[in-house]
């Protein structure tokens, strides 16, 4: 889709990737409805973009919504419909890192609710409106961990594997309509999404990281060319292909990652809602051996 024709509803707009993505969309000529949980942050982001993007007045709006609250999600559907949204970008998410024994049931529920169920519910509710558009897109910002399960990310990977499966199945379900469904999988990104434990894990495993602007550029490219799936970084793109074809082949490549997961702790903190993805390191360079 040509950005100038796009009226985008962007969840997770105030996160590290979300902010860069909103600016990239607006800079390319799109209109964007910023969605997040903080009115102050949304207002500040809107003013910041308008101050730097020529001709952006009237092309930015914002709406407060906690996607984990059904009533607010329902209100958001009405706002996005009135906004005449023809592109829905799911960029909101919550992190979850640590040994499975360290993750409590409430954290599991929150991760699956925000990362998987909320995009499913929001897409479902907006489908009648999107079907009425001449052309529409649903872009799911997932993770490389939606194709490659890493030690320490069992819950997070489950949510992103689910999101990728949802996007794939819905893409096929809507084939022949005017709606395109897409999945973008970043690797590790330099934002506040990763806490100190994940940063230590990344350092220990040699995880490659990208800037949020690179992810934003990829999302803009996906808007324009409507590619069904796109993963960021090498060798992650190769690992995605190998893991999809022969999953067990890479098991030994992640021994270093397994050893770098903190032992179970009763002090594991609940995640907070953010909008970027923890990443995957580069196992293909030296499969099964420390680098």
CATH of the domain at 137: 3.40.50.720
Looking at residue 271, its pLDDT comes to 45
Most confident of 52-56, 142-146, 208-212: 142-146
pLDDT, mean of residues 32-41: 97
Query: Is the pLDDT reported for residue 269 higher than 70?
Result: no
Q: How far is CA 141 from the centre of its chain?
A: 3
Task: Output the furthest CA–CA distance in the chain (Å, rounded).
Answer: 55
93 secondary structure, DSSP code: B
Range of 30's domain? 3-279
Report yes or no on 136 lying in a domain.
yes
Neighbours of 273 (CB within 10 A): 19
Looking at residue 201, its pLDDT comes to 85
| pLDDT tens for each residue of 87-132 | 999 999 999 999 999 999 999 999 999 999 999 999 999 999 999 9
Q: Please answer whether residues 66 and 120 qualify as being in contact, where contact means their C-beta atoms are separated by less than 8 angstroms.
A: no
Q: How many domains are contained in the chain?
A: 1
Most confident of 54-63, 138-147, 182-191, 269-278: 138-147
Q: Please answer whether residues 156 and 242 qualify as being in contact, where contact means their C-beta atoms are separated by less than 8 angstroms.
A: no
Q: Reduced to 3 states, what is the DSSP secondary structure of residue 180? A: strand
114 secondary structure, DSSP code: I
For residue 253, name the pLDDT band (cuts at 50, 70, 90). Answer: confident
The mean-pLDDT minimum among 75-79, 104-108, 136-140, 196-200 falls in 196-200
Query: Is the pLDDT reported for residue 164 higher than 50?
Result: yes
Report yes or no on 244 lying in a domain.
yes
Query: Is the pLDDT reported for residue 144 higher than 50?
Result: yes
> Residue 228 contacts by C-beta under 8 Å, 6 or more apart in sequence?
171, 180, 181, 182, 183
Report yes or no on 16 lying in a domain.
yes
For residue 266, name the pLDDT band (cuts at 50, 70, 90). Answer: low
Report yes or no on 290 lying in a domain.
no
Per the prediction, the chain carries an average pLDDT of 88
Percent of the chain exceeding pLDDT 90 equals 68
pLDDT, mean of residues 56-74: 93
The mean-pLDDT minimum among 38-47, 111-120, 187-196 falls in 187-196
Residues 114-125, buried b or exposed e (16+ Cβ, 10 A)? bbbbbbebbbeb
For residue 248, name the pLDDT band (cuts at 50, 70, 90). Answer: confident
Report yes or no on 287 lying in a domain.
no
**Using CA atoms, how far apart are residues 14 and 199, in angstroms rounded to an integer?**
21
Edge-first strand order for the sheet with 60-64 is: 60-64, 31-36, 7-10, 87-90, 136-141, 179-185, 229-231
Report yes or no on 148 lying in a domain.
yes
Report yes or no on 80 lying in a domain.
yes
Report yes or no on 289 lying in a domain.
no
**Using CA atoms, how far apart are residues 109 and 35, in angstroms rounded to an integer?**
22
In this predicted model, which residue has the larger pLDDT, 257 or 64? Answer: 64
């Amino acid at each position: 889709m040509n950005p100038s024709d796009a009226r985008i509803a962007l969840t997770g707009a105030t996160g590290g990737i979300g902010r860069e993505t909103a600016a990239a969309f607006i800079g390319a000529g799109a209109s964007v409805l910023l969605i997040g949980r903080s009115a102050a942050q949304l207002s500040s982001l809107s003013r910041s973009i308008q101050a730097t993007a020529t001709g952006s007045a009237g092309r930015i709006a914002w709406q407060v919504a906690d996607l984990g609250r059904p009533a607010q999600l329902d209100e958001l559907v009405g706002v996005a419909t009135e906004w005449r949204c023809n592109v829905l970008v799911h960029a909101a998410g919550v992190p979850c890192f640590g040994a499975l024994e360290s993750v409590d049931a409430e954290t599991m529920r929150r991760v699956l609710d925000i990362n998987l169920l909320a995009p499913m519910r929001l897409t479902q509710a907006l489908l009648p409106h999107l079907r009425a558009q001449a052309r529409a897109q649903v872009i799911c910002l997932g993770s490389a961990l939606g194709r490659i399960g890493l030690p320490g990310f069992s819950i997070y990977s489950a949510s992103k594997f689910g999101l990728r499966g949802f996007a794939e199945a819905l893409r096929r379900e809507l084939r022949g309509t005017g709606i395109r469904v897409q999945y973008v999988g970043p690797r590790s990104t330099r934002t506040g999404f990763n806490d100190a434990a994940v940063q230590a894990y990344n350092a220990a495993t040699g995880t490659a990281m990208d800037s949020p602007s690179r992810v934003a550029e990829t999302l803009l490219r996906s808007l324009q060319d409507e590619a069904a799936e796109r993963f960021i970084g090498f060798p992650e793109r190769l690992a995605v292909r190998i893991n999809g074809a022969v999953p067990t082949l890479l098991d030994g490549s992640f021994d270093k990652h397994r050893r770098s997961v903190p032992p179970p702790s009763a002090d594991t903190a609940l995640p907070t809602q953010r909008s970027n993805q923890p990443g995957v390191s580069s196992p293909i360079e030296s499969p099964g051996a420390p680098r």
